[in-house]
Structure 1
Amino acid sequence: MDVKLLELLACPLTKGPLTWDPERSELVSRLARLAYPVRGGIPIMLPSEARTLTEES
Structure 2
Amino acid sequence: MDPKLLDILACPLCKGPLKLSADQQELICKADALAFPVRDGIPVMLEGEARSLSVDERLDK
Q: TM-score range by the shorter chain?
A: over 0.9
Higher helix share: 2
Distance, in Å, in 1 between the alignment partners of 2:56 and 2:8 is: 28
Q: Which sections of structure 2, spanning at least 5 residues, go unmatched?
A: none
Over the matched positions of the two proteins, sequence identity in percent amounts to 53
* Matching residue of 1:19: 19
Q: TM-score, normalised by structure 1?
A: 0.92
1:24 Cα shift?
5.6
Q: TM-score, normalised by structure 2?
A: 0.87
Count residues in correspondence.
Answer: 57
Q: Deviations over 1:19-49 (max 9, x none)?
A: 0003261000000100000000100000100
Coordinate RMSD, CA, aligned? 1.1
Distance, in Å, in 2 between the alignment partners of 1:22 and 1:15 is: 22
Distance, in Å, in 2 between the alignment partners of 1:48 and 1:35 is: 11
Distance 1:9 1:33, change over 3 A: same
